[in-house]
Amino acid sequence: MTEEKVLLQATDVRQVYGKGSNRLEALKGVSINLRNNESIGIIGLSGCGKSTLLRILAGLEAPLSGDVLFHGKKIDFSSRESLRHYHSKVQMVFQSPMSTFSPYMTIQTYLLESLRSFGGLEKDEREQAAALLAQVELSGNFLDRLPHQLSGGQLQRVVIARALALNPEVILLDEPTSALDILTQRAILELLARIAKERKMSLVFVGHNSSAVRLLTHRIYVMEAGRIIEEVPSETLLQDASEEYTRQFFPEYVKNVVNNF
């Protein structure tokens, strides 16, 4: 990494849901950081707290305690103005693209929705929408289509295109390829890697597929039961992982264990 400045940071973030016997401590003092022009991964089993952490990083819910800092300044979760500015710089791509679409909204309308909210619409809206599609390698022929007329991979490209519309500094990705076939997964990951490099943009990729996360990131945080248990460079994750919990995410490690059973 040539630029070491911290862009986005979570410090001792805690989150609790429910009360009494239904109380769930989802995050137990989590701290992570994201540098400029860097991609990081967060992996862990279902229920470990990684999606909760991502929602807090996205400004979609306030933590019980702890801070989220962007360019060194704390995000005020109680301030609509603070969150509005933050959301113009930090965008999120969810696991299921269909969950973000209205079934009656055309692709063009969907793409330009955030620009209508934040400003930035150009005179020729159709040309602007087509340019966004071109960034994710889709043609303008998709602009008048409805969500059900696109494949899962095409829909996820459209979601990414809308996230790019505001020229964000960070995109948060919540298992964005988990519902796609293997070939489509790789194509989406390669697309994200290219876009991040061209735009000098930072990414946070949450998932449980270690191969996908390693392909896209520089560093990986490993979560277990609401805590970060280790941080390892993506390239040397299998060699440098010190926790047995971390090793279970590697197909090559699991295969070796099974063969020696």
Q: Domain locations in the chain?
A: 6-259
C-alpha pair distances (Å), 155 with each of 93, 96, 135, 161, 174: 11, 9, 14, 10, 15
Smallest CA-to-CA distance from 80 within 117, 37, 126, 36 is with 117
Give CA–CA dist 102/89, Å, rounded. 24
Checking 58-61 for CB contacts under 8 A at 24+ apart, the result is 58/90, 58/92, 58/172, 59/83, 59/86, 59/87, 59/90, 60/92, 61/15
Give CA–CA dist 199/67, Å, rounded. 27
pLDDT of residue 237: 80
The CATH fold assigned to 6-259 is Rossmann fold (3.40.50)
Residues 37-57 pLDDT 10s: 999 999 999 899 999 999 999
C-alpha pair distances (Å), 245 with each of 24, 30, 44, 250: 21, 18, 9, 10
Smallest CA-to-CA distance from 39 within 195, 229, 242 is with 195
Q: Is the pLDDT of residue 253 over 60?
A: no
Beta carbons of 49 and 30 less than 8 angstroms apart:
yes
Q: Helix, strand, or coil here: 197?
A: helix
pTM of the model: 0.89
Please name the residue ranges forming H helices in 78-220. Answer: 80-89, 107-118, 125-135, 152-164, 182-199, 210-216
pLDDT of residue 4: 67
Q: Is the pLDDT of residue 179 over 80?
A: no
Q: For 119, phi and psi rounded to 5 degrees?
A: 90, 155
Give CA–CA dist 29/15, Å, rounded. 8
Beta carbons of 164 and 195 less than 8 angstroms apart:
yes
Give CA–CA dist 218/234, Å, rounded. 5
pLDDT of residue 70: 97
Within 20-112, strands assigned E span 24-35, 39-43, 65-70, 73-74, 90-93
Residues 6-42 pLDDT 10s: 999 999 999 999 999 999 999 999 999 999 999 999 9
